[in-house]
Chain A
Amino acid sequence: MGRFVVRRLLQMILVLFAVSVLTFLIFNVIPNSDPAVRMSGRQASESTIQAIRKEWGFNDPLWQQYLTTMKKVITGDLKSEFTQLPVGEEIKKGLPRTLSLAVGAALLWMFVAVCFGLYSAVKAGRFADRFLTIIALVGISMPVFWIGALMNYYLGFKLGWFPNGGYVEFTEDPIDWFYHLILPWTALAILFIGFYSRVLRSNVLDTINEDYVRTARAKGLGERQILIRHVLRNSMIPIITLWGLDFGAVLGGGAILTETVFDLQGVGQYAAEAIGQLDVPPVLAVTMFSAFFIVLLNAIVDILYAYLDPRIRLQ
């Protein structure tokens, strides 16, 4: 198991290197124009462009450009050419907000989806199953910006039960932090709950017919123990994959819509604003930042896999 973890982490570094090369090429080499001009924005003076070209080493050989760019990304020594704000600082500011949103929503959607999926599978074909199926489809079909806006308007603005967007630091007031995040968590989780519970339902139904479940029943175990110990654990593996990918994406700023609708000012919202202004340095940084989380979560998922299914530790 230990060797498996080490090997998987080494692989992760390799993948990150490949991603960084690709990102560099996409941003600085593939667009057939002067990267310094693109980076400096509209109506930049010749001296600004010259300064940027010098700072980023755009006249150097490619490999050197790559190193300069990566050094800037990794050390956070980047600043937006529009706002003149340091990118590293901005991401650092957005990170706890995005983290709060992602962790809470991911736990919420996983938990609820497992409950719904399991219940649906146990009641397969009956009313409860059909009802949950419809609910899941409704959940999958509602775009997050729409459900988010509805929640904000009715539950926040009209009824005043929840704050109208915004974010409070956990260290400042944990209860207020929680209070402010209930709506964003729910809005973000709804889509995933629908999707995950459907996948889990079908996995459980497949597993329930396995011979080892029959063995468990023949042992005289209770229905609950059979379901949790023998069925659920084997059904969780495909769900864990999905979860790792989605959680990684949300952590890396992928919940742009949710962050924007609830004005959380997280990394996703920051990226969205930067993209809107064609502000290259922040976009470059956020891209690498997202890639890091997705690759990291993938590695964690693989390790979790090996924990859940001992056969995977073999190869």
Chain B
Amino acid sequence: MSEPLLKVEDLRVSFTTEEGVVQAVDGVSFDLAAGEVLAVVGESGSGKSVTAMTLMGLTRSPNARFEGTATYKGTELIGADEDELRRVRGAEIAMIFQDPMTSLNPVHRIGSQIIEQIQEHEGLPDAQARERTVELLERVGIPRARERVDNYPHEFSGGMRQRVMIALALSCNPSVLIADEPTTALDVTIQAQILQRMRDLRQETGAAVILVTHDLGVVADIADRIAVMYAGRIVEEGTLDQIFYDPQHPYTWGLLGSITRVDKPRPERLPAIAGLPPSLADRPEGCHFRPRCPHEFAQCTSVPPLEARLPGDAEHRDRCWLSVEDKRVKREVQPGEIGLVDKEGTPA
């Protein structure tokens, strides 16, 4: 494999809070190849957003501590000073945030918010920057872009604002686009439109995408590879097919089991993973998923390494001590669906 565009190695992020030290990201490593879509999936509080924002230096604060490296085209991002980071932000790595209602400044015209970024990185004259902004808005599907470029954010709907955010992110032709739950705040029909648009734009621009989401449905549409995160760690990583058709980690089974499916008999209630994710300030020893896992056994008190456990599938790695055969058997407890059962044996 050629040199990846972005290489994250053993990234650790912790925050000092009143409740103690919160280890939000605990040894995350992944590679991102040019033009690839990597989905980072997990529940709220799994550290996926912190990971994404840390790559752009947006989590920096006096209370935060960072370890590990993230190398983008030979530039180290984690330890970079603000000036170096500024050249990367927006120009090389751009970000789309979760809530389009609050991510645009209410007092500036949307056009000027995009022009501002273009001029920061490329120093174009006003007229040219404006022209490019109009083109961008057309490309993300904003009707009458030439007029609407002078509107304020409150004159747009949520879906339209997220398109503006996408236009903003694409404005300097970044090589990496980080989308942090880009469709979570939108209603379902708009979600589909935005995803379609992102897929088209990826085809056109060839940018690599890190898609942070809790929604496996979104992932199935667009991702090449998936990393499943739980409590600050990647618990399973593989291609879309590997994760969807041969998931190895009980947490992934749970996630997959909690999607509604039209091609399977409908269960009484949508299965959910029992229990809650651990507090990041006080996590269980060993495998973090242990307290919620119906298949827990003695070995689970030590941390399973993230490694390829399936013979001949070096790309598919997970953190679960169960043997491959055990996983095959346990995964199929509920015929017809991949899901977890709680400890009494009834569907959770």
Residue numbers of A with Cβ under 8 A of B are: 210-212, 214-223, 225, 229-230, 233-234, 308-311, 314
Contact = CB atoms under 8 A, between A and B. Distances in A.
B107 A309 contact: yes
22 contacts: A211-B97, A212-B104, A212-B105, A214-B97, A214-B103, A215-B104, A215-B105, A218-B89, A218-B90, A218-B95, A218-B97, A219-B120, A220-B88, A220-B90, A220-B91, A220-B121, A221-B120, A225-B116, A234-B105, A234-B107, A310-B106, A311-B106
A223 B117 CA distance: 14
Contacts of A222: 86, 120
Nearest to B114: A219
Given A212-B104, A215-B103, A309-B106, A220 B120 contact: yes
Interface in B44-98: 56, 58, 82, 85-91, 94-95, 97
Nearest to A236: B107
A304 to B, nearest CB: 13
Contacts of A220: 85-91, 117, 120-121
Q: Which 10 A-B pairs have the closest CB atoms?
A: A220-B89, A220-B90, A211-B102, A212-B105, A219-B117, A219-B90, A310-B152, A220-B86, A218-B95, A211-B103
A219 B116 contact: yes
B89 A217 contact: yes
Interface residues of B, number: 29
A240 to B, nearest CB: 13
Given A215-B105, A220-B87, A308-B107, 7 more contacts: A212-B104, A215-B165, A215-B168, A219-B116, A220-B117, A309-B106, A310-B107
A211 B58 contact: no
Contacts of A218: 56, 58, 89-90, 94-95, 97
A35 B344 CA distance: 91
B99 interface: yes
Contacts of A229: 108, 116
Contacts of B168: 215, 219
A212 B117 contact: no
A315 to B, nearest CB: 12
A308 to B, nearest CB: 6
B202 interface: no
A145 B232 CA distance: 61
Interface string B321-341: 000000000000000000000
A211 B99 contact: yes
Given A223-B82, A311-B152, A311-B154, A217 B106 contact: no
B84 to A, nearest CB: 11
A239 to B, nearest CB: 15
A221 B107 contact: no
Nearest to B102: A211
B97 A215 contact: yes
B100 to A, nearest CB: 9
B86 A221 contact: yes
B58 A217 contact: yes
Nearest to B93: A218
